[in-house]
Amino acid sequence: MKMQIQTKILAIVCVALCSFALANEPKKRGSHAQIAIQSTGLWHSSANASTSGLHEALFASYDYTTKLGLGFGIDALFGASYGNLDNYMIQGMQDLMSVRPVGDINFLVGLDVYAGWHLIRRSYDKPLYLGTGLKELIYSNVVVNTSFNMPLMAVYIPIELRGDVRLSPALAIEYLLAYDIALDQATQVTISEKDKRMLPIDGSYGLRLQFGGRYYASPKLYFFGTLVAEYYSFGASKGIFVGNPPDTQEPGVKPSAEAVLSYPRSNLGYVGIRLGIGY
């Protein structure tokens, strides 16, 4: 009986010492940055039309972790691609234009400012971060043979899980899971330089997934490759009445034409790979 009590006391002491050692282990903190190129297949589709193409982008990020485990940072993305659009995304636009699209150029800008807490943090990695912030997405669809273009703008509150897990001194994995809740979203319909209309959009959300690996060339510098996938769903807008001026000289615009324009339900997304360096 006495031996059992001593064994239990010894076990409790060992657990307490291990917990104390983990609690007092130096935690990873300070600044961290990444620079990368991103190559993805991008698509945008609605009930009226669709476009897709190979999208090339530049990516940069910076984050900082305080001594207490508070983390904050910023991710930025800018990219462009040629698409195969053969009709107008906006319902009713075909009544205002005299030509159909024969292709498009797509621009995508993403900005994610975030802050949160590193729930698990060790001296050599940061396996689990939970946070939120503010995310802005701007997608512009420019028809190559007319003056029509359609910037799609959305602001979200993201809920994010991030982390990096060290597997060995030279190898690590990194990941991101995010759900983006829309605060505000709209599209600006540019028929001509003098006629630009805003169409508010309801019911948008976004999903983001990233998973990749790191190879450390030195204790701080590493190369990484990450699979990236993002998906955004946009609700439909209400209709607005638009009339073209009788003396318009804009290419592809019908003089005196009238139509009710509306943005149908649509989705935007891309899947691909990001390659770069971190330090």
Whether the CB-CB separation of 109 and 77 falls below 8 Å is answered with yes
Pairing label, strands 222-234, 240-243:
unpaired
CATH number attached to the domain at 28-278: 2.40.128.100
pLDDT, residue 238, reads: 84
Predicted local confidence at residue 158, as pLDDT:
98
The proportion of the chain whose per-residue pLDDT surpasses 90, expressed as a percent, equals 60
Please, are residues 271 and 226 in contact by the beta-carbon 8 Å criterion? no
Q: What is the pTM of this model?
A: 0.84
d(CA 111, CA 44): 19
Q: Which helix (H) or strand (E) holds 53?
A: strand 50-65
Q: What is the pLDDT of residues 170-193, one digit of tens each?
A: 999 999 999 999 999 998 877 666
Instruction: State how far the Cα of 105 lies from the Cα of 175, in Å rounded to an integer.
Output: 30
Place of tokens 């946070």: 131
* Tokens standing for residue 22: 């983990």
Close Cβ partners of 234 (under 8 Å, ≥ 6 residues apart): 152, 154, 185, 201, 203, 204, 263, 265, 266, 267, 268
What does the pLDDT look like over 210-234, one tens digit per residue? 999 999 999 999 999 999 999 999 9
Beta bridge pairs of residue 113: 74, 134
